[in-house]
Structure 1
Amino acid sequence: MNYLLLKAVVEELAQNLTGHRVDQIFYLDKLSILLNFFHPKFGESYLYLSASNDFAAIFITESSLFASKMTTPFLNSCQNFLLGKRLFKIEVPPWERNVCLEFLDPKTAEKVYLFLEIMGKHSNLLLVNQDFIIVDAIKRYGENQSRYREVLPGKPYIPPPKPEAFLLNNLTLETFLRLFIQSPNLTLGDFFKRHIIGLGTFLLKEVFFLTNLKADTPCKELSTQQIEELYATLISLVNKNPMPVLYFNDNIPFYPAPFELKSLKDFVKQPGSPCEVSAQYYLYHRYRREFDSLTLTLKNAINKKLKNLQERIVELKAKIKEYENAQEFKNFGDLLLAFQHQVAKGSSRVKLQNWDGTPIEISLDPAKSPIENAELFYKKYQKAKKGLNIAQTQLQITQEELEYYKTLQFQVEDARSLEDLEEIKQELGIDNNPKSKKLKKTPPNFLTFTTSNGNKVYVGKNNWQNDYLTFKVAKDNDLWFHAKNIPGAHVILKCEKVPDEQSILEAAVIAATFSRARFGKKIPVDYTLRKYVHKPVGAKPGFVIYQHEKTIFVDPNLKLLQTRLPGFTTGKP
């Protein structure tokens, strides 16, 4: 979060939250919290604070969308010291990114401070009492991690170290010229990195753009006039009144700027208040980070399970092949009984004539008689026969489970929302936290389409939604669609009357599109009345059997996938 935008955010917070009471404090993640403020005149407000390494930020957001019932020692400390207190003051020192929120107890006048230090991977959020003793910090570390200060409960609060480079509020033209004289071999980019702090990458690019200079230009090549123009441009830029805009790259929030930047003139921009711009940028990237992280977690879990199942199938097939030779054991026993008089006592091997006249050699236990050896072969035969049945049953179960996990794999790859992934996560049972939210009991948001003839088509996005759609939403005379023998969504065509062929064709195209075969041609799609679709007792989520189906071959329509992009809404029947 660049300083100029941070300063504008702090000014907005001071105007809108000063005097408001802290009513609730929520856990967002291990590095982020949400303060719920209340004012009898202005109602509720939510203040987002994060010490994330990549996206540390502070701003007002509209709701407690990401709030969780989780708790941590730091959250408990904040609740003990901040609940009921009012925000008295919020400020940030010039060209530093250390925000201080000062809270006041209206009854005792006791003060408590919350410091948000935005410093990349060293960002932190600290709770400090009125004697400037640390109560707790969202990141704790001792002298082993930092020679400068300890951030531990009970230790004095020491502000972050001052940078060796010049802060812009202390930079005079004389100093600027002197620094250039002292740095002839540095490029402009390295010069600013070493000597000037607070601009950030994009504002520095703006300075170079406005002065027609490049970051790799050596300092010694600049004339005094160019240096003076560079200084004047720099000071003019940092003194501009904030009018924040959010820049987008391919519809993705790209950079929250304190004002319009001419160097980004080719990017789409959207103006807003400091908090609006910050919230849209940081919440998007927070959501994207959580989405990508959960996607990776689920993929790893599913891929591990798929590998184990595939190895199990190889083992079972080998066992079945071995057990299929069980008839040979029975044959050995029969031969030994029929020709026992030809077996010498104490023999370890014997050659006999098989029933078809060919010679055959049989290995024996020399300590046993021919009859006892025959009994051993009969026992092996019975064991192998029983093992064959068990192995064949296990193979079928394992292959069904493999298909189930392949379906989950497709659903994870196809997911477009964190909620869809959370449902899959809970279905897999890999969330061991008892305080995490359970599967939704309310109807899910299905993807919803309307055929050219006005019929509604609903699409499930994961196994839980597929089951809910098929067995709780669809009626007996609705049509159920699914790509034939291919992982994909359950699709329901709502039928108030006998459906027309065009609506059936369009629903089939939707089913093919929302399947793993979406990039193919002439995809087979089965469809039947919903009353002919059943779920076997004990079957895994999403698994069904059906009958009286018809099959139609269609080409997927990839344009339909645009309905799953951010910004598109889904609906409930």
Structure 2
Amino acid sequence: MAFDGITIANLTKDFSDYLVGGRIYKIAQTESDELFITVKLSYENADKYGIKQKRLVLSSDASLPLAYLTDDNKSSPLTAPNFCMLLRKHIQNGRIISVTQPGGLERVIRFEVEHLDEMGDLRHKVLLIEIMGKYSNIIFTDENNVIIDSIKHIPASVSSVREVLPGREYFVPSQGKINPLATTADEFSGAVLSKGMPIFKAIYSSYTGLSPIVSQEICYRAGIDADKSAIALDAGEGAKVYRAFDDVMELVRTGRFTPSIIYNGDIPKEYASIPLTLYEAENSSYMTAPISDISALIEQYYAEKNVYTRIRQKSVDLRKIVQTALERNVKKLDLQTKQLKDSEKKDKYRIYGELLTVYGYSAEPGAKSITVNDYNTGEDVTITLDPTLTPSQNAKKYFDKYTKLKRTAEAMDEQIKEVSEAVEQLESIESALEIAQNEADLAQIRKELVDSGYIKSHTSSKSSRKEKITSKPFHYVSSDGFDIFVGKNNYQNDELTFKTANGGDWWFHAKKIAGSHVVLITGGKEVPDRAFEEAAALAAFYSKGKNQEKVEIDYLKRKDVKKPGGAKPGFVVYYTNYSMAIAPDISKLKLISE
């Protein structure tokens, strides 16, 4: 989610609470488009928060512009860039007297700094950060809104709308949108409800600083389909949307922010400064995690998102290998299944051979066919003949076809079984790649691909035996205190099922689809229904069916799960089991560790 105006409003409030009255102690330009500003808090705020200083991070990176407070530090270049030197000259040791967000919910934060100039006179300067995607910038102006300098210069050749150059007047770029914090029901109706587009799009395209997800949240609170055309809403529906809109704006106006991250399993999906109730629907697989303040949220969200993105990038080669092998084996399986179907004609050829052996003498010389009575069914059968062959030779020809197809069927049965197992294994590896969280997880998946011959090994078997595997299964605790373990890949699935779990423990797996083995450790205790349902939900969530409303789960005692000799990693069989259909919702379960 991009920084929207509500997130900016939350940041502005926090910056104001912490930094107003504080003095700028250090200024560093850690990147070409990033500032680290150390602020010594006022005595009052130092006592209030129990800290003496905060570091303000302002980044105008085109791909990821950010602004937040942190306790961490970052090294800066030995020689400060010109923009950094200019800021040091003017506002180092200056006092921050206000932090504001101009224009309602514009994505701009304005820091006004009071300082003494060379003559000892009191002056005011303004540092602004515009968080606007690739147009983001950090701009320094005097008290009359004249630009002194900026971290990025924007000449007329780049933007005909607004130059950002020393000496030019600064103004907030306008998109012609309305301030959502100061609108009425009539204005809302005229701006939004007259548009022939989805209602959520009509909201964020009309008002400053509102993101698509916040607009969808407004529709959800109003009980209106976000994709319904705005112009198609009746008066009652329009009133509901406005009330929901105003309720959200009232949270912003009064500063009642509740920062939280929305997780889909362990993956950060969204974040917001207001409750996103649309992710709290019944049977939702999403979990809401409240965070203490918006700066902590930003640090955590992007750190976790970065880890997830990095792992996805590192697994690209493995995904490609698995996908290629899977496509190849699926095609092979389709071809073999067709060949097996064709071989079903073999019994017909055998019968033709037998009937020709009995009745072939009655065929006319050079005949192209013969009609005889099939003593097996009592019906007449017409058999095609090769006129250049005798009846006995035609019978032998049909017997040869039968023998060939019989051998084909026997070979196909074995090959189809082998290829089906390969497809099943590759689908389970594909599922394992989806839940991999770190490089140790990827290393174990890579090892399985090497051991299975999909990747050539570049190390000796001796050195590979020495390689230490640090990846561990997911460990959850049920609401009733039972330990539940989830395998991240096929090796862990085997380890959990046949080494970790005892015969009396319970085993869960999604029915007929790829997924993790889940074991519920009973510890010899009686297991309540809720624990069964939570373990089944984990098996549903960590399977290929996680995006379905409900997934059918097989579960049984671990002692009834068997591994055939020579079977591939993660492959098991069982013949008696219970089943339940469960939603893949694990929001109430606590992840202890890996």
Residue 207 of structure 1 is matched in structure 2 by 139
Residues 342 and 512 of structure 1: CA distance in aligned 2, closer, same or farther (over 3 Å): same
Contact 1:491 1:511 in 2 (8 A): yes
Unaligned runs of 5+ in 1: 10-53, 56-89, 96-165, 171-200, 231-247, 253-266, 272-276, 564-568
Q: Which residue of structure 1 aligns with residue 442 of structure 2?
A: 421
CA contact (8 A) 2:477 2:589 kept: no
Q: Which amino acid aligns with 1:312?
A: K
**What pairs with 1:47-196 in structure 2 (closer than 5 Å)?**
95=81
Contact 1:508 1:525 in 2 (8 A): yes
For 2:167, the equivalent position in structure 1 comes to 227
Distance 1:342 1:294, change over 3 A: farther
2:456 equivalent to 1:432:
yes
CA distance in 1, matches of 2:155, 2:367: 90
Give the AA of the match of 1:545. V
Residue 443 of structure 1 deviates from its aligned partner by 6.5
* Deviation, structure 1 residue 93: 6.0
1:313 aligns to 2:337 (yes or no) = no
Does 1:378 pair with 2:403? no
Kindly provide the amino acid, as one letter, of the partner of residue 585 in structure 2.
N
Deviations 1:177-236 (A, max 9, x none): xxxxxxxxxxxxxxxxxxxxxxxx999811168857797674999999961888xxxxxx
Number of the residue aligned with 1:529: 557
Q: Distance in 2 between matches of 1:222 and 1:531?
A: 73
Give the alignment of 1:19-38 within 5 angstroms.
Answer: none
Match of 1:323 in 2: 343
The aligned length equals 356
Q: For residues 350 and 550 of structure 1, do their structure 2 counterparts lie closer, same or farther at Cα, with a shift above 3 Å needed?
A: closer
Tell me, what secondary structure is at the counterpart of 2:584?
coil
Whether the 8 Å CA contact 1:332–1:362 is kept in 2: the answer is no
Cα shift readout 1:487-532 (whole Å, capped 9, x = no counterpart): 2211121122232214233222222222222333453322222222
Once residues 220 and 378 of structure 1 are traced to their aligned partners in structure 2, the CA distance between those partners, rounded to angstroms, is: 86
Question: Which one of 480, 483, 494 corresponds to residue 456 of structure 1?
Answer: 483
Aligned residue identity for 1:385: K
Aligned to 2:532: 504
User: For 2:586 and 2:490, how far apart are their aligned partners in 1?
Assistant: 22
Secondary structure class of the residue paired with 2:415: helix
Using the TM superposition, give the Cα deviation of residue 283 of structure 1 relative to its aligned residue in structure 2, in angstroms: 9.0
Distance 1:312 1:5, change over 3 A: same
Q: 2:138 is paired with a residue of what secondary structure? A: helix
Corresponding residue SS for 1:206: strand
Aligned to 1:5: 30
- Counterpart residue identity of residue 491, structure 1: V
Contact 1:513 1:560 in 2 (8 A): no
Task: Work out whether 1:398 is the aligned partner of 2:423.
Answer: no
Are 1:350 and 2:369 matched, yes or no?
Answer: yes
Q: CA deviation at 1:361?
A: 4.2
Deviation at 1:325, TM superposition (A): 1.0
SS at the partner of 1:448? strand
In 2, Cα distance between equivalents of 1:547 and 1:375: 44
Distance in 1 (alpha carbons) for counterparts of 2:553 and 2:449: 27
2:544 aligned counterpart, secondary structure: coil
Counterpart amino acid of 2:386? L
Change (3 A) 1:348 1:400: farther
Name the TM-score, length of structure 1 as normaliser: 0.51
2:587 counterpart SS class = helix
Unaligned stretches of 5+ residues in structure 2: 1-26, 35-62, 65-75, 87-132, 171-258, 263-267, 269-292
Q: How far apart are residue 309 of structure 1 and its match?
A: 2.2
> Amino acid of the residue matched to residue 350 of structure 1?
S
Q: Residues 208 and 333 of structure 1: is their aligned pair in 2 closer, same or farther, counting only changes over 3 Å?
A: farther
8 Å contact kept, 1:518–1:558? no
The percentage of aligned residue pairs carrying the same residue is 24
CA RMSD of aligned residues (A): 5.0
Q: C-alpha separation between the residues in 2 aligned to 1:371 and 1:223?
A: 97
3-state secondary structure, aligned to 2:30 = helix
- Is contact 1:528-1:550 (8 Å) kept? yes
In structure 2, do the counterparts of structure 1 residues 547 and 327 end up closer, same or farther at CA, with 3 Å as the change threshold?
closer
Q: Relative to 1, partners in 2 of residues 1:203 and 1:317: Cα closer, same or farther, differing over 3 Å?
A: closer
Aligned 8 A contact 1:534 1:546 in 2:
yes
The TM-score with structure 2 as length reference comes to 0.49
Matched, 1:337 2:360: no
- Cα gap change, 1:311 to 1:450, in 2 (>3 Å): same
- Counterpart CA distance in 2 for 1:310 and 1:540 is 17
Q: Which residue of 2 aligns with 1:363?
A: 385
TM superposition shift of 1:307: 1.9
Q: Check whether the contact 1:290–1:418 (CA below 8 A) recurs between aligned residues.
A: no
